[in-house]
């Protein structure tokens, strides 16, 4: 008898009571604030109408974020707004409308990647930081694996390419 193995990667919305532990789990104690800030800053960079806590557009006023844990061990953050979100990446000439969920995946991928390179260059001799960066690098690829299965995968991949 053969048993089928489910390889589907699924997200789980993190409850409000789990949010602080979630951030420490994925970023480690020393990278929580820079990690979360970089993800939000990448959204600001990619989306002209996003400014974090105040904007001329109602859908971006006082934006809070949803946190998702993936069944493969990855994670991402997504803004709690009504979509679509216009994303523009001058670095690769991508411009397109994404759901808030897909936009969050894109900004998390960029933020985590930025954090890995920025912190690694400054902390090459700090073993604790190197371990956290190594774990973040693994989680970057776990999120990327999930992004490839997302219903907006082609747009996500074009946005990060």
Q: What is the gyration radius of the CA atoms in the chain, in angstroms? A: 16
Diameter of the chain by CA atoms?
Answer: 60
- CATH number reported for the structural domain that contains residue 50 in this entry: 3.30.70.3580
pLDDT at residue number 58: 39
Residue 97: CB atoms within 10 A of its CB come to: 13
Q: What is the dihedral of CA 49, 47, 99, 18, to 10 degrees?
A: -90
Instruction: Classify residue 133: in a domain, yes or no.
Output: yes
How many angstroms separate the CA atoms of 135 and 129, rounded?
10
Say how far apart CA 33 and CA 27 lie, in whole Å: 9
Query: Is residue 35 domain-resident?
Result: yes
Geometric angle at alpha carbon 143, from 147 and 34, rounded to 5°: 125
The residue whose two tokens read 């974020």 is 65
**E-state strands within 10-134:** 11-13, 65-70, 75-79, 85-89, 94-98
Collapsing DSSP states into helix, strand and coil, what is residue 89?
strand
Question: pLDDT value at position 108?
Answer: 97
Whether 3 maps to a domain, the answer reads: no
Q: Which domain holds residue 51?
A: 11-160
* pLDDT score recorded for residue 111: 96
> Based on the structure, what is the number of domains in the chain?
1
Q: Is residue 5 part of a domain?
A: no
pLDDT in tens, the chain (161 residues): 556 566 789 999 999 999 889 989 999 888 888 999 999 999 999 998 776 543 334 344 457 899 999 999 999 999 998 879 999 998 899 999 999 999 999 999 999 999 998 887 777 778 888 888 899 999 999 999 999 999 999 999 999 98
Strand partners, 77: 67
Can you give the pTM of this predicted structure? 0.88
Res 123: pLDDT: 77
Residue the block writes with tokens 């776990």: 142
pLDDT at residue 83 in the model: 76
* Residue 149, domain member (yes or no): yes
DSSP summary character for residue 152: T
């Amino acid at each position: 008898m053969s048993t089928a193995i489910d390889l589907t990667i699924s997200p789980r919305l993190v409850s409000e009571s789990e949010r602080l532990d979630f951030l420490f789990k994925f970023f480690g104690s020393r990278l929580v604030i820079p990690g979360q800030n970089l993800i939000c800053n990448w959204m600001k960079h990619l989306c002209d109408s996003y400014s974090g806590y105040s904007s001329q557009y109602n859908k971006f006023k006082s934006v809070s974020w949803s946190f998702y844990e993936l069944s493969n061990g990855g994670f991402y953050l997504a803004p709690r707004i009504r979509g679509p979100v216009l994303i523009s990446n001058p670095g690769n000439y991508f411009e397109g409308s994404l759901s808030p969920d897909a936009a969050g995946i894109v900004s998390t991928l960029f933020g985590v990647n930025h954090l890995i390179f920025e912190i690694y260059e400054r902390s090459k001799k700090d073993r604790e930081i190197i371990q956290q960066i190594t774990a973040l690098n693994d989680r970057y690829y776990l999120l990327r694996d999930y992004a490839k299965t997302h219903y907006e995968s082609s747009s996500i991949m074009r946005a990060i390419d």
